[in-house]
Amino acid sequence: MDSFEGRTALVTGGSRGIGLGIAESLVKRGAKVVLTARKPEALAAAVRTAVETFGSLDMLVGNVGINPVYGPMMDLDLGAFRKILDTNVVSALDLVQQAWRAWMSEHGGSVLFVASVAGLRSSPMIGGYGVSKAALINLTTQLAVEMGPKVRVNAVAPAVVKTRFAEALYEGREEEVAAGYPVGRLGVPEDIGEAAAYLLGDGAGWVTGQTLVLDGGSGSRGR
């Protein structure tokens, strides 16, 4: 297990669910962690808080994401689609730019985005969300090239994880949904937290520009 003693992390969307699971994994390894909720306007203050309070910003986790609509792409309100892209993609780049200017351009660090398996294949009824996560996955590869060698940038792409955000995907039929996963259960935030800690830590020092799929083996069954 990597030790994060003396390192500072900022986790956005960290008040519950996957973000909180990631934060707990980092704290367990000794990191000092600054949490924000999901509102993008708080991000600039959070970057300043991390650097001014703890003296560094070594790890950055972008976990701000919304999915306010459900239905086919042909019915998707374009205003809602713009909001999804702005929150899920544009604000992620904004966050990294701020961290780069405030600390990482000089001192280095590692970045992790929380994407989704919806960004890797078709995602009926949540297509706008899937497109935004596909963009985030490509942003990961772009930034890994541009920010290297000082900063590594990776992503995780979870399938269904038991959080309030994903309740609509399994509520009332958890056993049925879980049966589609070779491991026999849905994901939990701790699963994502442990993978995130690996990608952010020194043990993944030769890993950048990658998206780690966390799907309980469901992708191995094909589509």
Q: Tens digit of pLDDT for each residue in 154-178?
A: 999 999 898 877 776 777 788 888 8
Collect all residues with Cβ–Cβ distance below 8 Å to 138 and sequence separation of at least 6.
none
Average pLDDT of the chain to the nearest whole number: 93
CA distance 26 to 9: 8
Task: Report the C-alpha gap between 62 and 2 in whole angstroms.
Answer: 20
Please report the pLDDT score of residue 190 as a whole number: 96
- 3-state class of 182 per DSSP? coil
d(CA 154, CA 136): 10
Peptide bond just before 124 cis, omega within 30 deg: no
Candidate list 70, 129, 170, 198, residue with the active-site label: 129
- Is residue 3 situated within a structural domain? no
Contact status, residue 118 vs residue 129, Cβ threshold 8 Å: yes
Rounded to the nearest 10°, the torsion over CA 172, 39, 75, 136 is -90
| pTM over cut 0.85 | yes
Give the model's confidence band at 47: pLDDT under 50 very low, under 70 low, under 90 confident, else very high: very high
User: Taking Cα atoms as reference points, which of 218, 162, 165 lies closest to residue 187?
Assistant: 162
Per-residue DSSP letter, 153: E
Any bridge partners for residue 158, and if so which?
214
Domain count, the chain: 1
Q: Could you tell me the two tokens for 188? A: 């939990």
User: What is the structure's pLDDT at 216?
Assistant: 95
- What pLDDT is stored for residue 220 in this prediction? 72
Positive or negative torsion for Cα 194, 195, 200, 203: positive
Within a domain: 34: yes
Which run of H or of E encompasses 155? strand 151-158
Q: Is 223 a domain residue? A: no
CATH code for position 22: 3.40.50.720
Task: Report pLDDT for 40.
Answer: 56
Per the annotation, the verdict on 129 as an active-site residue is yes
Work out the average pLDDT over 65-91. Answer: 96
Domain that holds residue 100: 8-218
Tokens coding 81: 């689609």
Residue 206 maps to a domain: yes
Residue 17 resides in a domain: yes
